[in-house]
Amino acid sequence: MFVEPLSLQHNKGWIEVICGSMFSGKTEELIRRLRRAQIANRSVEIFKPQIDTRYHETDVVSHNSNAIRSTPVAHSQNILLLGSGIQVVGIDEAQFMDDELPNVCEQLAKSGVRVIIAGLDMDSEGKPFGIMPDLLAIADYITKVHAICVKCGDIAHFSYRISNNTSQILLGEMEAYQPRCRSCYYKCEDI
């Protein structure tokens, strides 16, 4: 569980990254942190990439059906415009955002904003996904969450694609992906 550091509780900005595989609880953890910030009477705004419409056109929704109102954006620069005067900014599915997101997050943090980002750290090929490596490099705090391997029940941190679609970006759920541990991911066969 992430605990807000005492040294950073006094209007100083910072960047938190929540990463992991599909079905690991990244969005659930993002929503939890944002709701706690709301309880603490912080002004909160959450953003998601405009292409992510799996569960809802505007809301960020976890696989457990927890939801929070968000603003879909086509470009990360829009976050600077729409997040003006906000104390806490949340960003979901960051791996789908453009290359400017790390700069946007740095600008927000420098201006005193707490930035909480959630995203896949690896794609279904096991390679770093999009801008996530850059975000991990500039993060003040990193939380790696894990799913449970559907094959053996171990801790999973790979998103194994069961669909025949080969594009890097494929929005999907259990019909397209399975969480797998390292061993079951590399076996790439049904046990």
The catalytic site residues sit at 93
* Cβ neighbours for 2, distance < 8 A, ≥ 6 positions apart: 16, 29, 33, 141, 143
What are the C-alpha distances in Å from 104 to residues 23, 29, 93, 175? Answer: 27, 22, 15, 34
Cβ-in-10-Å burial (0-12, 13-18, 19+) of 145 comes to middle
Cα–Cα distance between 19 and 67 in angstroms, integer? 18
Helix (H) or strand (E) holding 137: helix 132-138
Whether 97 and 104 have beta carbons less than 8 Å apart is answered as no
